[in-house]
Amino acid sequence: MSDSALFQTYARFPITLVKGKGSRLWDDQGKEYLDFMGGLAVTNLGHVPDAVKNALVDQLDQLWHMSNLFSNPNQEKAARLLVDNSCADAVFFCNSGAEANEAAIKIARRYHQKVKGNGRYEIITFNQSFHGRTLATLTATGQEKVKEGFLPLPEGFKHVPLHDIAALEAAVNDKTAAIMLELVQAEGGVIPVDQDFLREVRALCDRHGILLILDEVQTGMGRTGKMFAYEHYDVEPDVFTLAKGIGSGFPVGAMLAKAHLKPAFVAGAHATTFGGTPIAMAAVAATIETMLKENVVERAAEASEYLIGQLQEKLEGLPNVDQVRGKGLLIGILCNVPAGEAIAELHKRGLLVVPAGPNVIRLLPNLLVTHEEIDTAVGLIASVLTEQAAAKTVGS
């Protein structure tokens, strides 16, 4: 790629994908792959789902773009579907997860400063979290590697260890506006949040008048076996964010909030040129309607149980595997050796997976993945990791 006109910001795999359908992808050489990456939790209905494709084609013949200064029936429809199927009362549409998290940070600050009048602005997040690549969201991210070379960073963010309620309580002060966390730290190694810890966080927020923001960019839209991951916890956020799977591959983000936050986002408080276009909203509405009609969330929960069970059975006793963890169809295989070599070998054998940190193989199949596809994937993973363990034993 030395002659590429692109900035080389990605350490790309040596594969050029040109076509996809369902759980399958094909490269420019005609080789077929079983996709257990899902575009990083984006293609939740599989590649090129018919209902979403048809909705996009229909919309392309009508209207592509208009300013958000005009009423947009497609936005109203998509927002109503989200509100009616969640704890939220209002939606702001944007283009990406980072933008959705920016909107969440902004509404938290503006709520405290313009509605409550208390001047709060600090956001507490957690070590190993990932919230985006804008200056504010990379500052919110609890990983130093994404911040290198971007100093000075914006003020107003603190980080504490996940599951350390004492450290969290110590970080709270009269400037704290919100606590923000992912319910599965996906980029940080596929680490689910403990149920008791989240309940303690919610109680802490309630005691101090702090907002609870949940970053559901990767966990939302059925990925964890519930429409939204917070449903596993019997806890409701004040604000949560979505992107990735909400548009089946079309770039869309959304910030959703409870009714008491509506006065913080009034005319002129926040805006976007391309967020919520008629085309994007057609993708969102078709995605949600398909999920509801085809019981996609329930099917994902069943597929998750089968996949995790098969992984635990087939990988049991391997000396290079420490744990299978995750929630729903966001699964990590924690190895005690670097995972890069195994991931590269799986790609060669036709299974696409992705890392989550140096030692974790992350699996993100689409939510309609079949048992047959799971069996194929688990068989390849077991073979590669078994061979890797045997080679290490011989080498030592």
The residue ranges of every structural domain in the chain are 17-48+296-395, 63-294
Whole-model pTM: value is 0.96
Q: Which residues pair with 240 in a beta bridge?
A: 214, 256
CATH hierarchy code of domain 63-294? 3.40.640.10
Helices 371-395 and 296-315 pack at an angle, to 10 degrees, of 30
Which phi and psi (to 5°) does residue 342 adopt?
-65, -40
Nearest C-alpha neighbor of 189 from the set 355, 385, 365, 377: 355
Whole-number pLDDT of residue 396: 54
| pLDDT of res. 2 | 65
**Burial (CB count within 10 angstroms: exposed 0-12, middle 13-18, buried 19+), residue 55:** buried
The owner of tokens 């006109």 is 5
User: Which residue ranges make up the annotated binding site for N(2)-acetyl-L-ornithine?
Assistant: 133, 272
The answer for residues whose C-beta is within 8 angstroms of residue 297's C-beta and 6 or more apart is 222, 225, 226, 227, 291, 367
Is-contact 272 95, C-beta < 8 A? yes
Q: Is the peptide bond before 365 cis (omega within 30 degrees of 0)?
A: no
At residue 3, the pLDDT reads 87
Which residues fall in the annotated binding site?
A: 97-98, 130, 133, 215-218, 272-273
Fold of 17-48+296-395: Aspartate Aminotransferase, domain 1 (3.90.1150)
* Rounded distance between C-alpha atoms, residue 198 and residue 110, angstroms: 24
- 70/360 Cα distance (integer angstroms): 46
At residue 391, the pLDDT reads 85
**17-48+296-395 shares its CATH topology with 63-294:** no
Q: What is the pLDDT along the chain (396 residues), one digit of tens a residue?
A: 568 999 999 999 999 999 999 999 999 999 999 999 999 999 999 999 999 999 999 999 999 999 999 999 999 999 999 999 999 999 999 999 999 999 999 999 999 999 999 999 999 999 999 999 999 999 999 999 999 999 999 999 999 999 999 999 999 999 999 999 999 999 999 999 999 999 999 999 999 999 999 999 999 999 999 999 999 999 999 999 999 999 999 999 999 999 999 999 999 999 999 999 999 999 999 999 999 999 999 999 999 999 999 999 999 999 999 999 999 999 999 999 999 999 999 999 999 999 999 999 999 999 999 999 999 999 999 999 999 999 877 555
Q: Residues comprising the binding site for pyridoxal 5'-phosphate?
A: 97-98, 130, 215-218, 273
Residue 307 CB partners (closer than 8 Å, separation 6+):
329, 331, 363, 365, 369, 374, 377, 378
